[in-house]
């Protein structure tokens, strides 16, 4: 699995037109968030994002469910792909491409790792309490679990303290922040999410 950067965090790039998205992505990079993902349905934007940020950020694709989608993402230059479900057939679709498989139970997540996934993601994490956040990471091999869902910063800290590889908070880049006249609000929010600082 590619490293998740200094803040151990994957950012889902929102479904905005590139002229609105690119300035927000620049702020992401400036604040040290360098691992991003686009949903498969927005793969048409991938070449331009790669052109602008491919040497500065790791760009992945999420929402992949079929081997053909994975091969398409790989051909576009994805550094990793993520599936929301336990889909072992994705792991070998493109040899060498890191695949993150999803699950909701320890057994599903372990099955994903046994299938050869580079990492597994629990989603949605907001379906579980903080007790689960403290108990699940130690049940899996170290450095393999990503917590994905809606969460507050303190919840991300709990996952990381318990041994998660990283977090994937949803809606980090809200329309109100990305489309605002000034990106100062986005920068302020990102600074609060600098895990490990």
What pLDDT does residue 196 have?
Answer: 83
Residue 120, token pair as written in the block: 């597994």
**CA separation, residue 157 to residues 15, 94, 104, 134, 136 (Å):** 27, 33, 20, 10, 14
In tens, the pLDDT along 25-81 reads: 999 999 999 999 999 999 999 999 999 999 999 999 999 999 999 999 999 999 999
What pLDDT does residue 1 have?
Answer: 78
Evaluate whether 61 touches 82 at the Cβ level (below 8 Å).
yes
What pLDDT does residue 115 have?
Answer: 97
How many domains does the chain fold into?
1
User: Is 114 part of any domain?
Assistant: yes
User: Is 5 part of any domain?
Assistant: no
User: Is 1 part of any domain?
Assistant: no
Taking the C-alpha atoms of residue 175 and residue 143, their distance in angstroms, rounded to an integer, is 32
What pLDDT does residue 197 have?
Answer: 78
User: Is 6 part of any domain?
Assistant: no
CA-closest candidate to residue 12, choices 35, 32, 31, 29? 35
User: Is 4 part of any domain?
Assistant: no
Specify the residue for token string 């007790």: 131
For the whole model, what pTM was predicted? 0.95
Evaluate whether 53 touches 59 at the Cβ level (below 8 Å).
yes
The ranges of the chain with pLDDT < 70 are: none
User: Is 79 part of any domain?
Assistant: yes
Taking the C-alpha atoms of residue 183 and residue 168, their distance in angstroms, rounded to an integer, is 21
Which region, left, alpha or beta, applies to residue 147 given φ > 0 means left and ψ of -120 to 50 means alpha? beta
What pLDDT does residue 114 have?
Answer: 98
Around 14, how many Cα atoms within 13 Å sit in the side-chain half-sphere? 21
User: Is 165 part of any domain?
Assistant: yes
CATH number at residue 63: 3.20.20.70
Cis? peptide before 124, omega within 30° of 0? yes
Domain that holds residue 93: 11-192
**CA separation, residue 196 to residues 53, 73, 154, 158, 191 (Å):** 24, 31, 12, 12, 11
CA-closest candidate to residue 23, choices 168, 173, 194? 173
Q: Please name the residues in contact with 37: beta carbons below 8 A apart, sequence gap of 6 or more.
A: 10, 11, 12, 13, 59, 60, 61, 62, 80, 82, 168
User: Is 3 part of any domain?
Assistant: no
What pLDDT does residue 78 have?
Answer: 96
**CA separation, residue 42 to residues 68, 72, 116 (Å):** 16, 12, 27
């Amino acid at each position: 699995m590619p490293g998740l950067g200094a803040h151990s965090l994957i950012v889902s790039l929102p479904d905005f037109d590139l002229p609105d998205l690119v300035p927000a992505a620049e702020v992401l990079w400036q604040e040290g968030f360098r691992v991003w993902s686009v949903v498969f349905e927005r793969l048409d934007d991938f070449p331009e994002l790669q052109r602008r940020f491919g040497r500065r950020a790791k760009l992945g694709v999420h929402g992949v469910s079929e081997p053909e989608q994975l091969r398409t993402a790989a051909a576009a230059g994805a550094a990793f792909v993520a599936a929301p479900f336990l889909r072992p057939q994705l792991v070998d679709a493109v040899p060498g491409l890191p695949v993150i498989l999803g699950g909701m139970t320890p057994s599903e997540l372990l099955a994903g790792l046994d299938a050869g996934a580079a990492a597994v993601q629990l989603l949605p994490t907001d379906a579980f309490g903080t007790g689960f956040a403290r108990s699940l990471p130690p049940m899996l091999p170290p450095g393999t679990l990503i917590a994905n869902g809606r969460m507050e910063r303190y919840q991300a800290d709990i996952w990381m303290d318990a041994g998660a590889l990283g977090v994937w908070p949803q809606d980090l880049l809200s329309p109100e922040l990305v489309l605002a006249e000034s990106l100062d609000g986005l920068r302020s929010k990102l600074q609060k999410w600098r895990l490990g600082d």
